[in-house]
Structure 1
Amino acid sequence: MENVSVKDGKIIAIISYITIIGTLIAYILNKDKKNYFASFHIRQGLGIGILYLINQWIIYQSSGKNPGWFFGVFIFIIWIIGIIGAIQVEEKRIPVLGDYFQKWFKNI
C-alpha cells in the first residue's frame, strides 16, 4: 500500500469512528475514491456502531443495566483501539470481531 494513499485516507478513517453518523459521513466521503485504508476503518467503525446499537436497544432492554454496562465498556475499549489505529496510520483490527467486520462489510 502506498504511503500517499494511506495519508489521504487518514482523516476519513478517523471520522469513521466518531459515532454512527461519522461512519456514514466517512462512507460518503470515501465512496468515489475508494481509499483502501479508509475503507478498512469504515468497516471497523460500522461494526462498532452496530455493536453500540445492539447494546443500547437489546442488551440493556432484555438483560438490564449490569450486562449492558459491561458490554458498553467492551465497546468503548475496542473503539479506543480502532481510533488509535487510525490516528497512528495502522490497519489494526479490533480484538475478537475485527476479522468478522472486515468479512461482513467487504463491499464497503
Structure 2
Amino acid sequence: MAPNIASLLCYICMPITSIIFLLIEKDNQNVKFHAWQGTAFGVGYILVLIALEILAAILGAIASVLGIIVGFFIPIIGLVAFIVWIVCLIKAYQGERWRIPVVGDFAAKKAGVE
C-alpha cells in the first residue's frame, strides 16, 4: 500500500484504524507518525467529550443553566475536531507531517521523527 494512502487511512476511523496501523507498520516513519497522531487525537477527543458530558450532567443537576452553558461547547468542540480531522486527511494524503497542537509533538516522539 502506498504510504500516503496508509497515512490517510490512519485518520478514517480513528483511533481504531490508527491503532491497526501502529500494529502493522514497522518501517515507514510517516505512516507511524500519522498512526500515533490519529490515536492520540481520537482518544483525546473521546475523553474530552466524555468529560464535558459528565460536567454538563453534574452542573445541569445543580442549575440547569450551567448544564446548558457547558452543553453549548460540545458541538463547538465537535466542529473544531471535524475541521482538524479534514486537515489531517488532506495533509496525510499529501505526504506532509502536519502536527496537531498538543498531540503532534507526542506523535513525533513516539514515531521517532522529531
* TM-score scaled by length of structure 1: 0.74
1:81 aligns with 2:87: yes
2:73 aligns with one of 56, 64, 67: 67
Partner of 2:24: 29
**1:17 Cα deviation from its structure 2 partner:** 0.2
Deviation at 1:100, TM superposition (A): 4.0
C-alpha distance 107-91 of structure 1, shift in aligned 2 (>3 A)? closer
Q: Would you say how many aligned residue pairs link Structure 1 and Structure 2? A: 97
* Identity value in percent: 29
The one-letter code sitting in structure 2 at the alignment partner of 1:24 is I
CA deviation vs aligned residue, 1:13-66 (integer Å, no higher than 9, x gap): 111102221112221221xx3310101111211121012211331112213421
5+ long unaligned stretches in structure 1: 1-6
C-alpha spacing 1:100/1:28, structure 2 compared with 1 (3 Å):
closer
| Equivalent of residue 45 in structure 2, options 39, 49, 52 | 52
The Cα RMSD (Å) is 2.1
Question: 2:86 is aligned with what amino acid?
Answer: I
- Name stretches of at least 5 consecutive residues in structure 2 with no aligned partner: 57-69
Contact 1:15 1:25 in 2 (8 A): no
Q: Is residue 18–residue 38 contact of structure 2 (8 Å, CA) maintained in 1?
A: yes
The alpha carbon displacement at 1:90 in A equals: 1.0
TM-score (norm 2): 0.71
Q: CA 1:43 to 1:11, structure 2 compared with 1: closer, same or farther past 3 Å?
A: same
